Amino acid sequence: MHEQEPNFWVRDVPVYGDVVLSPMAGYSDVPYRALCRSYGSAMNYTEFVPVEGLLGKKRDNRYWQRLDKKPDEHPIIFQIFGSDAPKILRAAQRIEELEPDIIDINMGCATRRVSGRGAGVGMMPQPELVRETFSLLTQHLSVPITGKIRLGWDTDQQNFADIARILEDNGAALIAMHARTKTQKYGGRADWDAIARLRETVTVPVIGNGDVNTPDDIERMKAHTGCDAVMIGRGAIGNPWIFARKEKSDLLLPDIVAAICLHANEMVAYYGEAHGLMLFRKHLKRYLEDQPKAERILPQLLQISELGYFEAVLAEWESEMLFAQG
């Protein structure tokens, strides 16, 4: 139960906060979303799912697993992608049965295997496909429909404003934008001026995304663009404290270790002990990459497959480090 007023609404879904964990393949799973939510992520997106993976007879494949959620995880946004409007509708109708708060269409993925077949950011050069998709979804679904876009395909095709108008005209309840083109991928600088123009173009809430790595960046993006919320992706890996507006460099070692243990426990609870710790390794490297003398303990931690042993080794290293600090 929230006593304060929502920061904004996604149609009839209240959002209490202004920082949001980005949907990231391989990272935005149930355990990491739970961790980031505990630090202040205001709403969570699932990893994106291809509509083809949702249309078969079997509902126990890995794509359906990406739509797992915790019972109290709200607002939760299921993100899907495709290049055929009727198929996107059928997939969305199937996943609506799982009771997401919102369904989002990914129009931002720049990988060749997605965008090259007209999905992800590959939808943006196809305004009629965008129009048909959002018209169908908002007519036939009861949950709010949103879209995540980029600036456009390349420097010469930055059509985000036109696409945003199509989205709003066809019922989209929110637009998130990564302020780079498809050809930029994650290189160069994010164009925050474009996020400001998007905010002026539409009346629905706007989430800005790109080059947010510190708490100061959150405030700067909000002030520069007027966006309703800030989405954080790569800047949150190994750094969930950013959602609490805390600098990782200001934290004490026990704060770092406590988050590592909490995240590791979430991974084990969801995936099982050995598999969970194996999947946790990529996160662990990021947690410890800037910690002094972490290279001494990291190789050992990356080989451990038992949670109790993992926590014991980590605790021993923490004690040694604190003793050395005096």
| Catalytic residue ranges | 109
Q: By C-alpha distance, which of 267, 266, 253, 268 is closest to 315?
A: 253
DSSP strand E in the chain: where? 8-10, 13-15, 19-21, 44-45, 49-50, 76-81, 102-107, 145-150, 175-178, 206-209, 229-232
In degrees to the nearest 10, what's the CA dihedral of 32, 35, 38, 41?
-30
Rounded to an integer, what distance in angstroms lies between the CA atom of residue 155 and that of residue 168? 24
Whether 150 and 160 have beta carbons less than 8 Å apart is answered as: yes
Rounded to an integer, what distance in angstroms lies between the CA atom of residue 238 and that of residue 73? 21
Whether 177 and 206 have beta carbons less than 8 Å apart is answered as: yes
What are 213's two structure tokens?
A: 């790595």
Q: Which amino acid is at 175?
A: I
Whether 180 and 150 have beta carbons less than 8 Å apart is answered as: yes
Whether 210 and 201 have beta carbons less than 8 Å apart is answered as: no
Q: By C-alpha distance, which of 182, 229, 185, 186 is closest to 211?
A: 186
